[in-house]
Every structure is written in C-alpha cells, then in structure tokens.
Chains A and B, each alone.
Chain A
Amino acid sequence: MNCETAAALLPELIDARTDAAAHVEVRQHLAHCPHCQREFSDLRRTLAALEEAAPLPSSALRRNFYAMLEEEKHSAASAAVARPRSIFSSRWGWLLAPALAAITLLAGFQLGARFGTTPPATAPVVTDDATRRELAALRQQVGQMSQLVGYSLLQQQQGPANERLREVLVAAQAEKPGAKILDELIVALAFDPSANIRLRALEALYAHSDNAAVRAGVVAALPREQNPLVQLELIDFVATAREREAAPLLERMSREDSLDQSVRAAARRALAQL
C-alpha cells in the first residue's frame, strides 16, 4: 500500500463508527510510515479542534425555551375541547393550588421554617420582612381555603411519596454535591407537577445560590411557574441571590396583570434589591 491510498482512508480510521477490524492494510502501513502518522495526528487534532470550538449557548436559550413551552401549553389547553369545569377553573383556582400545596407541606414536611420566624440554616437570611409578612398572610388564606376544599382533593394531589427526590434532597446536603444532583433539583423545580416538591427543590437549591447554573435554572423556572406561592419563593430566591439576569423578567412580572397582586409587588421589591 502506498501513502496516497492510505491517506485517503485515514479519516475513516479516526471515525469511531468504523469497525476496529476494518482496513487492516492501512493500519499496518500506518504503523510503519512516519509521513502517514503525521497526517493521522493532524486529522486527529483537527477533529479535536472542531469539538473544542463548538460554542455553548447563553442562558437566554434556556429561558426562551421554557417561556415558549409554557405559552404552547396554555394554547394547547385552551384549544382542548370544553372540559368539565373543575373547581380549579373558578376564580379561587389560584388559591386552591397553593392551598393543596400548603396542606401537603404541613402534613408531610416541616417546611414551616421557611415561612416562620427562623430561616432554614442553609439559606441566606431573608431580610425582607414585608415578603415574610405577605407569605404569612397568604398561608392564613390558604388555611381557610383548605377547610372549604376538604381533604378528598388533597388525597388526589399527594400521590405516592417521591422516594427518588428524597434521595436527591439528601445528596444535596453534602458539602459539595455533584452537578448531576443540582441538575436533578433544577429539573424537579421546573417540571414536578407537585408544588410541594418544587418548593422542596428550591429550598435545597438555596445553599447553592452562588452557583451560576443553579441561578440560571431558577430564573428559567420563574416564567413557567403558575402557583403564586412558589412564584413568591422563586422571586425571593433571585432577590436574595442578587441574580441580575432576572431583572427583565421581574420587570415584566411587575407589570403583568394576570399575576397575583402580591406576586407583582414582590417582583417590584426584588427589582429594587438586585
């Protein structure tokens, strides 16, 4: 085999999809030919450079994606054939969802500390008294609603205990949890249908608010969040973490009529804190 024939087949040898047993003659030639070895290493270097040169997206891509997804879900929901009118579509809907979340919280987890006088040990101190008062007021409203709603709905909402997330939450308490653990928390924050779980995930993320990826994840979750209680907590997070990336979003939220008044007010206050 001559160099010309061998050189033409070198890109194929580099390709991981090429069978290791293929092109035995080329491999034999390569083993003894310094010229082809140089060519081979140049190709390898080019491929590595190609890989290295791929830029990574800015955090705007994730933000825009989740905003788009949320919009699409809304239009898909409104396009659906008239569903039976549920208690959630009443004007109390926004209150009921947090009501259920809050009941679950009180029953299952001791998240009370988030809303009470002592902030959790892992979280940066929440300095905004007004926010805390507001949360306390909201919680009271929620308590009243829960008596109206009764417990049958609660049963539906709770579902099986989420063992997997519990493990993640435990792992997140490690001194330096891996990126995978943080990713799982961010995914839970963005996706979990239970407001309770989303709050738990957010609480665990507080300890890692110095991590840019965590902050970006929380900012991404904010526009998708429908539950006022969780919205308030997310706003609280970005304000405490001083996440300036959130400024345009908070600006929009502070003027968004469809949002709960307390959420709009919290967005305004957070803007001042950034």
Chain B
Amino acid sequence: MATDTEQRSDHDLMLAVRHGELDALGELFERHHSRLFGFLAQLTGQPAVAEDLAQTVFQRMLKYRHTYRDDGRFTAWMYHLARRCAADHFRKTGAAPRATDPGVLDELADESPHAGHQAASRDDRALLQTALNQLDRDDREVLLLSRFEELSFAEIAHLLECSVGAAKVRAHRALGELRTVYFQLLKSR
C-alpha cells in the first residue's frame, strides 16, 4: 500500500522503483526535491534553470533506475545524477553563474509555505549568492555538497573521485573562501 511508504527507507523506495513500482519515486520526490533544488539553485545561481535541472534529475532516476545498486545509497546517487545534469548544463551554456537577480529569489521564496526561510532579507540572500558565484565552480560544488550533512565525506570523496582527506580539505577551504568574500561584500555595501 502506498501509505506504507512512510516507513520505507529511501533505499527501499528506490529499489521498489527499480522493480517497476514507479509511484515510489513520488515519495522520494517529496522527501528530497527541496534540498536538491536548493543545491542546484545555489550551484547555478539561476533558480529557473535549477527547476529544469531538478526535473531532469528525477527523469534520469527513472531512466537509469536499473543501474541503481543493491548496496547503493539514494542521496549519494541523487547528487551524483545532479552533478552530471549540472555539468551538462554548464557545458551547453558555457556559462559561469550570473549574479542572481534578487527579485527572482524573493519571488520563489514567497511561493513557499515555509515562512521561516523568509527570515533572511532578499538582499542577504542575493549577497550570499553573489559571494558563492565568485568561487570557482569546483569549490562551490564541494562546499554545497558538504553543506548537506546527509552526505558523509566518504560519499563526497566518491562523487568527486578524490580521497576523503582531499574532499575534507577542499570543502573546508571553500568555506573559508566564501567567508572572506561574503564579509567583504557585507562591508562594502
């Protein structure tokens, strides 16, 4: 029964999808789409693009469901697909992320039912995104991946094809860089 999905782990749900129970993907969408979208929006700096990419990630989960492994971890696989989608996007557009129009972020946030997220002013959000955009794409990516503490550094290292130690150093260095740029922007405004 579909209402049993609440007790099922992400992994079990994805295995069910693999075995043809496509509706199980709906529960996975409900659990993860917000964070996935947040990751893609901050990585690209373009919420509209991020919505398309997030949709593509879920599409690929269906398309490649047979490649999901018995010993897999769903979130790691999701971010693996997300990185690939984002890389495709960057390759196609050759785009560095643009400075985000604060109005866009505000509009998106206003549609959300979670009022808590609106605590930060639109200026603060735009400023942080501007700071993020100034980081190298690789640094931004490792920082955003590590921000999701649902991924272990072993998983991040696997995604980035580097050692665990290197993943840690890169993520922590990127945070330090973001802090520098962010506080410069804060002071100069």
A interface residue numbers (CB < 8 A to B): 10-12, 14-17, 42-43, 46-47, 49-62, 64-66, 68-69, 72-73, 76, 159, 162, 164-165, 179, 183-184, 187-188, 190-193, 197, 211-213
- 15 pairs from A and B in contact (CB 8 Å cutoff): A11-B173, A46-B178, A46-B182, A49-B120, A53-B132, A56-B34, A57-B34, A57-B51, A61-B37, A61-B55, A69-B23, A162-B3, A164-B3, A165-B3, A190-B26
Mostly helix, strand, loop or mixed at chain B's interface?
helix
* B68 is an interface residue with CB less than 8 A from chain A: no
Give, as a whole number of angstroms, the nearest-CB distance from A209 to chain B. Answer: 14
Q: How far is the CA of A76 from the CA of B19 in the complex (A)?
A: 12
Instruction: Let me know if A55 and B146 touch, CB within 8 A.
Output: no
Mostly helix, strand, loop or mixed at chain A's interface?
helix
Q: Mark B1-13, 1 if CB is under 8 A from A, else 0.
A: 1111110000000
Q: From B20, which residue of chain A is reached at the shortest CB distance?
A: A76
A12-B113 contact in complex given A57-B108, A76-B20, C-beta closer than 8 Å:
no
Inter-chain contacts of B183 with A (CB < 8 A):
42, 46
B interface residue numbers (CB < 8 A to A): 1-6, 20, 22-23, 25-27, 29-30, 33-35, 37-39, 41-42, 47, 50-51, 54-55, 58-59, 62, 105, 108-109, 111-114, 117, 119-120, 124-125, 128-129, 132, 143, 146-147, 149, 152-153, 168, 171-173, 175-176, 178-179, 182-183
Inter-chain contacts of B37 with A (CB < 8 A):
55-57, 61
Instruction: Let me know if A159 and B1 touch, CB within 8 A.
Output: yes
Instruction: Let me know if B179 and A213 touch, CB within 8 A.
Output: no
Instruction: Let me know if B41 and A191 touch, CB within 8 A.
Output: no
Q: How far is the CA of A64 from the CA of B26 in the complex (A)?
A: 12
Inter-chain contacts of B58 with A (CB < 8 A):
65, 68-69
Instruction: Let me know if A11 and B175 touch, CB within 8 A.
Output: yes
Instruction: Let me know if B120 and A52 touch, CB within 8 A.
Output: yes
Q: How far is the CA of A46 from the CA of B178 in the complex (A)?
A: 7
Inter-chain contacts of B147 with A (CB < 8 A):
47, 50-51
Inter-chain contacts of B47 with A (CB < 8 A):
55, 57
Give, as a whole number of angstroms, the nearest-CB distance from B20 to chain A. Answer: 7
Inter-chain contacts of A212 with B (CB < 8 A):
113
Instruction: Let me know if B114 and A56 touch, CB within 8 A.
Output: yes
Inter-chain contacts of A190 with B (CB < 8 A):
26
Instruction: Let me know if A69 and B22 touch, CB within 8 A.
Output: yes
A56-B54 contact in complex given A162-B1, A187-B5, C-beta closer than 8 Å:
no
- Contact with A64, one of B4, B42, B55, B108 (Cβ below 8 angstroms): B55
Additional pairs, 12, CB under 8 Å, beyond known A53-B128, A56-B108, A57-B50: A11-B175, A11-B176, A15-B149, A46-B175, A46-B183, A52-B120, A55-B41, A56-B34, A57-B54, A57-B108, A187-B5, A213-B113
- Contact with B25, one of A17, A69, A213 (Cβ below 8 angstroms): A69
Inter-chain contacts of B29 with A (CB < 8 A):
62, 65, 69
Give, as a whole number of angstroms, the nearest-CB distance from A40 to chain B. Answer: 10
Give, as a whole number of angstroms, the nearest-CB distance from B58 to chain A. Answer: 6
